[in-house]
Structure 1
């Protein structure tokens, strides 16, 4: 049985590869997740998670793009390294666009593993489940016309990379939010189990649709973000309580990915371990060019 499970640090993941050429390494990159990798899908949605206004996107020639950053996201850099076009946001692209078969970005800023995450106040968001449905539409309706046979399409999907970075909002906009009942229904371990089980089912859905190579990110050290420092009144230290929730989830995520990697045929699962990197930014700021110990400032998930 061909199967692989890998544990890698994010900075090493660029990302399966150490080649710095612009040669195309894989046929496509498909991106699923939240605001860490969103690139415009929220623009047409009824949501406060939009980032289509200044100062977002100030490094782009035409201004804001819908990314929650001044420039490129980690998914964009990933695509550049792979030698393919930056995956366009699915909701903003005409299906006949040139090279759309090199991948899509389905991410939404307030999305979560749980479907209800980010929907308080009747907002619209693309949950992970909805993003998978858009990928299903891609596989069933858009891609077949670009391939001569189902076997050729299957081979293309098996060689493509599937980047998944989600879960932060399930805490910030669900479990840790007074607008939801999750923390009153589940304890820390139960909620982490709920999330990892849900994500496992979603990765299985992608696998059944043809995905074989996955890069799945941990949640970062959210207790070091300004919002939670204020709540815990622990400035300048990180909130140990919040980080304990995240640490529990990340551990269970690693265990789950290892189990799934052993269970499904011809698959590769990479766990991108970003928690410790973000924690180290706070603990050792001088290593990263910062003169004082400041909390890591992270935008909306």
Structure 2
């Protein structure tokens, strides 16, 4: 992994120079560092011995370079958000870095199947759980400091840290048929356990140099085709959605505490639950035809198994679907969600959205 960190830093140097020249002395987004699960994974699992991979067709059917390891037909929400920020595609840490015509402006550490807890998603095989993702980022920072010196902290303070985590701690842990977690924890106790651990992880990123954070809450997990397809109801599974809401309530509380206690910290909570629910409940207003049916998959609502690699793709117009496969949204939905995060009203006070988050000066400046 050390080679990956060194390669990343050489390219971050180019991004740092470009961002400094472009900033004109004021705050500007220098880079984006991405952490989390398959909702934002850009291919970190490709080289691992794991079942959590999307490096085959039809994944990437609408992505310029085809299947890259993204669990989507096109771009993830991180890809769309990066584009709105004027950044090039953020490459995976566990991949090959290459210098293109655009400056390199970030690293993606996300790993499909991973969670806040180390045992989430372990049924898939090798993964990078959040703890390991943070360790990989810290290796990158060590290399940055060795090459960039004192400018490293300033560069990181002008970067956006996007974290989308927690879904697998439910879908591939707490809610598994043979999981022992429900016996040990009520839904409320499990949410507190997760968010307490998550808060420690976020603090670790802060002490490693992060200052501007966009933290995604959990979406309505019970509305995924995998949840609906596994039951008898034609609509969302309310019990699963309530678990997501418990997590989100605890997350909002811990982010308020971090904002108050950590100097210069700006943790912006992204209410993905409300955004997703709005699109699902008013799907036709957004140009969708299918609110719960997956575009690609097998079984009821195409939610039983993920996209098979050899069968023909049944959905021609992917933009009509909210869900690409049993667990992940389409490129069309990701574009809407990213725009909401970038320009919408995520909270009443400033910063209200990502645009303001990356423009506002830190309190000591």
The change in CA–CA distance for 1:280 and 1:294 in structure 2 (over 3 A counts) is same
Structure 1 54/272 Cα, relative in aligned 2: closer, same or farther at 3 Å? same
Give structure 2 stretches of 5+ with no counterpart: 1-21, 294-321, 329-365
Q: Secondary structure of the equivalent of 2:277?
A: helix
Q: Which residue number in structure 2 is paired with residue 111 of structure 1?
A: 114
Per chain length, whose mean CA-contact separation is higher, i.e. which structure has more relative contact order (CA < 8 Å, sep 6+)?
1
TM-score (norm 2): 0.71
Give ranges in structure 1 of 5+ residues lacking alignment.
1-22
Give the secondary structure class of the aligned counterpart of 1:32: strand
Aligned mates of 1:292, 1:83 — CA distance in 2: 31
Tell me whether 1:284 sits opposite 2:310 in the alignment. Answer: no
Alignment deviations for residues 23-52 of structure 1 (CA, whole Å, 9 cap, x no partner): 774111000011111111010011111000
Residue in structure 2 matched with residue 297 of structure 1 by the alignment: 323
Q: Which residue of 1 aligns with 2:193?
A: 194
- Whether the aligned pair in 2 keeps the contact of 1:110 and 1:117 (CA below 8 Å) is yes
Equivalent of 1:69 in 68, 72, 76: 72
Aligned to 1:144: 145
Contact 1:285–1:294 (8 Å) recurs in 2: no
CA distance in structure 1 between the aligned counterparts of 2:172 and 2:291, rounded to whole angstroms = 27
Aligned to 2:135: 133
Aligned counterparts, 1:151-162, within 5 A: 152-162=151-161
Shift of the 294–172 alpha-carbon distance from structure 1 to 2, 3 Å rule, reads closer
Matched, 1:171 2:175: no
The CA distance in 2 between the partners of 1:30 and 1:248, in whole Å, is: 27
CA distance in 1: counterparts of 2:185 and 2:145, whole angstroms: 43
| Mapped partners of 1:195, 1:133: distance in 2 | 19
Corresponding residue of 2:245: 247
Q: Which residue pairs with 1:210 in the alignment? A: 209
Where 1:190 maps in the other structure, the secondary structure is: helix
Following the alignment from structure 2 to structure 1, what is the Cα–Cα distance between the partners of residues 91 and 289?
37
Q: Which residue of 2 aligns with 1:87?
A: 90
2:262 corresponds in structure 1 to: 264
Aligned residue runs from structure 1 range 20-35, under 5 A: 25-35=28-38
Q: Alpha-carbon deviation of 1:292?
A: 6.4
In 1, the alpha carbon distance for the partners of 2:186 and 2:222 equals: 18
- The two structures, once aligned, show a CA RMSD in angstroms of 2.0
Q: Deviations over 1:100-136 (max 9, x none)?
A: 8621000011010001101126x11110111000001
Within a 5 Å distance, the mapping from 1:5-20 to structure 2 comes to none
Extract structure 1 runs of 4+ deviating beyond 3 A.
Answer: 96-101, 290-296, 298-301
Secondary structure (helix, strand or coil) at the match of 2:94 reads helix
Partner Cα distance (1:126, 1:59) in 2:
26
* SS, match of residue 30 in structure 1: strand
1:227 Cα shift?
1.8
- The separation in 2 between residues aligned to 1:167 and 1:242, in whole angstroms, is 13
3-state SS in 2 of match to 1:111: coil
Per the TM alignment, residue 58 of structure 1 is displaced from its structure 2 partner at its CA by 1.4
User: SS of the residue aligned with 2:246?
Assistant: helix
Change (3 A) 1:289 1:30: same
Q: What is aligned with 1:38?
A: 41
Number of equivalenced pairs: 273
3-state SS in 2 of match to 1:120: helix
Contact 2:60–2:70 under 8 Å retained in 1: yes
TM-score (norm 1): 0.85
